A and B are shown apart, each in its own frame.
Chain A
């Protein structure tokens, strides 16, 4: 049994607990002993991306403290994993002890599909999901963590799942955290392009590795009255 600490992320905890539950099931199916450090809250990405580095440091310190001893930290979110991996070492570069810890925690932090495929070498979780599915590669997973084949490979192994290509897949959905509030109309325009592409793919379900993008996409699908559902990758992989 591989010991794994789950960083469930704040959005999953409060908005999409079923994604957290699915993540636990998937990790257990892959042979992991999952722990959930209950002191965790948020990685600070929202503050950091918006320029509030002091606030991000406050939450980052907490995160480092909570996960200091975790053997591996797995999150159902490419953007939160990317925050820890890419930006924590930068955020704490002027604090020697924390800088060392930040680099160490960063090196142990993974997005779910990344951990399954690259670390555990698992590509088939024995899942079954009878639906036509298209995959939206979230920007931070795709370009931050370099996740290209990992999520697709996992989806291809799912029984009865028909994977269809998303046109212009690498295009951002327009969420961008505060961007979606600050530049609300622009974010809506970017979303609209993404939704057109999702509908053009012919999929019944759109999936991704980040609930933040999915929240945005699903809000748009709902507003459009579309029948396409938005599900996190873990929810599909947990299907049996």
Chain B
């Protein structure tokens, strides 16, 4: 479980990148939901936390592939592979990310 930041420090419509290996992007959507996905676009080499957030979709800032934050799946080309998704919880006003791989090894 990795602490990210306080909920009030990540306003709706914003995203933040955490420097895990590989880095993870955490999004706060306009609807107030929190999502975490691997930060690096599966197409080439762009940071999705810098992308354009619209609803549950984030558009890559380099070649405009779009990913569904709920599933990690690309909804259009040029990306063809999904990014990993991670679960997010808020404990005492602090956002935490549970890395998918971490859970896998713990099990």
Do A and B pair up? The answer is: no
The chain A residues found within 8 Å of chain B, CB to CB, are: none
Question: Which B residues form the contact surface with A (CB < 8 A)?
Answer: none
